[in-house]
Structure 1
Amino acid sequence: MSSPRFWSPTFEIERRDDGTILMRQSEPLEDHFPTLADYLDHWADATPDRTWLARRQNGGNWVGVPYAEARRAARRIGAALLELGLGPERPLLILSENSLEHGLLGLACSWVGIPYAPVSPAYSLVSKDHGKLRDIAATLNPGAVFADDGAAFSTALDAIAAPGRVVLNARHPVDGALLYDDLRSVSEAPAEAARAALTAETVVKYLFTSGSTGSPKAVINTNGMMTAMAAMTRDCYRFLEDEPPVVLDWAPWNHTAAGNKVSSLVLTNGGTYYIDDGRPVPGKFDETIRNLREIACTWYFNVPLGYDMLVEALETDEALRDTFYSRLSMMFYAGAGMAQHTWDRLIALGHEATGREVLLATGLGSTETAPFALACTEPQKKAGNVGVPSRGLTLKLVPAGGKLEARLKGPTMTPGYLDDPEKTAEVFDDEGFYCLGDALKPVDPDDLARGFYFDGRVAENFKLSTGTWVTVGAVRGALVDALGGLARDAVIVGEDKPELGALILLSEKAANTPRSDVEAALRERLAVAAAAASGSASRVRRMAILETPPSFDRGEVTEKGSLNQRAMRAHNVDLIETLYAGGPGIVAV
Structure 2
Amino acid sequence: MLLTSLASDDSNAADIADAVRIDNTVLSRSQLSGASAGVLEDLGGATRVAVLATPTAQTVLAVTGCLLAGVPVVPVPADVGVAERQHMLRDSGAQAWLGERPDDPAGLPHFSARSGSQQPHAVASCDDEDTALIIYTSGTTGPPKGVQLSRRALAADLDALAQAWQWSPDDVLVHGLPMYHVHGLVLGLVGSLRQGNRFVHTGKPTPEAYAAARGTLYFGVPTVWSRVVADPGAAAALRSARMLVSGSAALPVPVFDALVERTGHAPIERYGSTESLITLSTRVDGERRPGWVGVPLQGVQTKLVADDGSPVPHDGESIGRLAVRGPTLFNGYLNRPDATADAFDGDGWYRTGDVAVIDAQGMHRIVGRESVDLIKTGGFRVGAGEIETALLGHPAVAEVAVVGLPDDDLGQRIVAFVVASPAEPAQPGELIDYVAQQLSIHKRPREVRIVDALPRNAMGKVLKKALLT
Using the size of structure 1 for normalisation, the TM-score is: 0.70
Give me the identity figure in percent.
20
Q: Distance in 2 between matches of 1:44 and 1:345?
A: 45
Residues 1:345 and 2:255 are matched in the alignment: no
Q: Is the 8 A contact 1:465 1:495 kept in 2?
A: no
Q: Distance in 1 between matches of 2:301 and 2:454?
A: 41
Q: Is the 8 A contact 2:248 2:271 kept in 1?
A: no
- Partner secondary structure for residue 540 of structure 1: coil
1:380 positional shift: 4.8
Q: Distance in 2 between matches of 1:293 and 1:558?
A: 25
Residues 1:123 and 2:80 are matched in the alignment: yes
Task: Report which stretch shifted further, 381-390 or 197-206.
Answer: 381-390
Matched with 1:245 is 171
Matched with 2:282 is 376
Residues 1:542 and 2:454 are matched in the alignment: no
Q: Distance in 1 between matches of 2:394 and 2:236?
A: 31
Matched with 1:98 is 55
Matched with 1:325 is 239
1:309 positional shift: 0.9
- Please, which of 332, 337, 344 is the counterpart of residue 428 of structure 1? 344
Q: Distance in 1 between matches of 2:115 and 2:29?
A: 20
Matched with 2:164 is 236
Aligned CA distance change for structure 1 residues 462 and 343 (closer, same or farther; 3 Å): closer
Structure 1's consecutive aligned runs of 4 or more residues displaced over 6 angstroms after TM superposition are none
Q: Distance in 2 between matches of 1:426 and 1:456?
A: 20
One-letter amino acid of the counterpart of residue 384, structure 1: G
- Partner secondary structure for residue 60 of structure 2: helix
Matched with 1:202 is 130
Aligned CA distance change for structure 1 residues 307 and 561 (closer, same or farther; 3 Å): closer
One-letter amino acid of the counterpart of residue 239, structure 2: Y
Matched with 2:14 is 47
Aligned CA distance change for structure 1 residues 420 and 192 (closer, same or farther; 3 Å): farther
One-letter amino acid of the counterpart of residue 406, structure 1: L
Structure number with higher relative contact order (C-alpha < 8 Å, ≥ 6 residues apart): 1
- Please, which of 306, 314, 329 is the counterpart of residue 413 of structure 1? 329
1:567 positional shift: 4.9
Q: Is the 8 A contact 1:37 1:110 kept in 2?
A: no
1:202 positional shift: 2.0
Matched with 1:138 is 90
Q: Is the 8 A contact 1:206 1:218 kept in 2?
A: yes
Q: Distance in 1 between matches of 2:376 and 2:34?
A: 60
Task: Report which stretch shifted further, 93-102 or 418-427.
Answer: 93-102
Q: Distance in 1 between matches of 2:138 and 2:11?
A: 35
Residues 1:69 and 2:34 are matched in the alignment: no
Aligned CA distance change for structure 1 residues 549 and 347 (closer, same or farther; 3 Å): closer
Aligned CA distance change for structure 1 residues 543 and 322 (closer, same or farther; 3 Å): closer
- Partner secondary structure for residue 268 of structure 1: helix
Q: Distance in 2 between matches of 1:367 and 1:271?
A: 23
5 Å-filtered alignment, 1:103-502, equals 103-124=60-81, 130-146=82-98, 148=100, 153-154=102-103, 157=104, 161-162=106-107, 165-168=108-111, 180=112, 188=118, 195-238=123-166, 240-241=167-168, 243-279=169-205, 285=206, 288-289=207-208, 291-313=209-231, 315=232, 317=233, 320-326=234-240, 328-351=241-264, 358-369=265-276, 371-377=277-283, 380=287, 382-400=289-307, 403-443=319-359, 445=360, 447-448=361-362, 451-479=363-391, 481-482=392-393, 484=395, 486-496=397-407, 497-498=409-410, 500-502=413-415
One-letter amino acid of the counterpart of residue 330, structure 1: M
Matched with 1:11 is none
- Could you say what the CA RMSD is over the residues aligned between the two structures, in angstroms? 3.0
Unaligned ranges ≥5, structure 1: 1-33, 58-62, 125-129, 169-179, 280-284, 352-357, 551-556, 573-589
1:255 positional shift: 0.8
1:500 positional shift: 3.5
Specify the structure having the higher radius of gyration (Cα). Answer: 1
- Partner secondary structure for residue 235 of structure 1: helix
Task: Report which stretch shifted further, 266-275 or 525-534.
Answer: 525-534
Q: Is the 8 A contact 2:356 2:366 kept in 1?
A: yes
Q: Distance in 1 between matches of 2:230 and 2:182?
A: 28
How many residue pairs were aligned?
Answer: 457
Aligned CA distance change for structure 1 residues 526 and 42 (closer, same or farther; 3 Å): farther
Unaligned ranges ≥5, structure 2: 309-317
One-letter amino acid of the counterpart of residue 529, structure 1: V
Aligned CA distance change for structure 1 residues 307 and 138 (closer, same or farther; 3 Å): same
Aligned CA distance change for structure 1 residues 95 and 395 (closer, same or farther; 3 Å): same
- Partner secondary structure for residue 308 of structure 1: helix
Q: Distance in 1 between matches of 2:293 and 2:273?
A: 13
1:561 positional shift: 3.9
- Partner secondary structure for residue 306 of structure 1: helix
Matched with 1:563 is 462
Q: Which has the higher helix share?
A: 1
One-letter amino acid of the counterpart of residue 298, structure 2: R
Q: Is the 8 A contact 1:246 1:299 kept in 2?
A: yes
- Partner secondary structure for residue 214 of structure 2: coil
Q: Is the 8 A contact 1:122 1:559 kept in 2?
A: no
